Amino acid sequence: MLDLLNPSKIFIWIEKLIKFINSIFFILLLVALTFALIVSPPDYLQGDSVRIMYIHVPSSWIGLASYSCIALISVLIFIFKLRNLILIAKSLAPIGLVFTCLSIITGSIWGKPTWGTWWAWDARIVSMVVLGIFYILFILSNKLIKPEIKATKVSCIIAIFGFINIPIIKYSVEWWNTLHQPASIKIDGTSTIHSSMLTPLAFMLLVFLLYCALIFLMKYKTEIIRIKKKNLKRI
Query: Which mean pLDDT values do the consecutive 10-residue runs of the chain (235 residues) have?
Result: 55 84 93 91 82 93 96 93 83 96 93 82 91 97 91 95 94 76 64 81 95 92 78 50
On the CB side of 146, CA atoms within 13 Å amount to 1
CA pair distance 61, 55, nearest whole angstrom: 10
- Inter-residue long-range contacts of 84-89, CB under 8 Å, 24+ positions, other chains counted: 84/5, 84/6, 84/7, 84/234, 84/235, 85/5, 86/142, 86/152, 86/155, 86/156, 86/235, 87/7, 87/220, 87/223, 87/224, 87/227, 87/235, 88/220, 89/138, 89/155, 89/156, 89/159
On the CB side of 8, CA atoms within 13 Å amount to 9
* Confidence (pLDDT) at 184: 67
Alpha-carbon Rg of the chain, whole angstroms?
19
User: What are the Cα distances from residue 149, in Å, to 5, 68, 71, 220, 235?
Assistant: 18, 22, 17, 18, 10
* Confidence (pLDDT) at 186: 64
Q: Which residues contact 164 (CB under 8 A, 6 or more apart)?
A: none
* Confidence (pLDDT) at 235: 46
Nearest to 134, CA basis, from 205, 212, 70: 70
Q: pTM for the full model?
A: 0.86
* Confidence (pLDDT) at 48: 82
What backbone torsions phi and psi does residue 154 show, to the nearest 5 degrees? -65, -45
* Confidence (pLDDT) at 183: 66
CA pair distance 14, 18, nearest whole angstrom: 6
CA pair distance 164, 108, nearest whole angstrom: 24
Q: Which residues contact 105 (CB under 8 A, 6 or more apart)?
A: none
Burial of 91 (0-12, 13-18, 19+ CB in 10 A): buried
Nearest to 110, CA basis, from 172, 168, 38, 60: 60
8 Å CB contact between 162 and 66: no
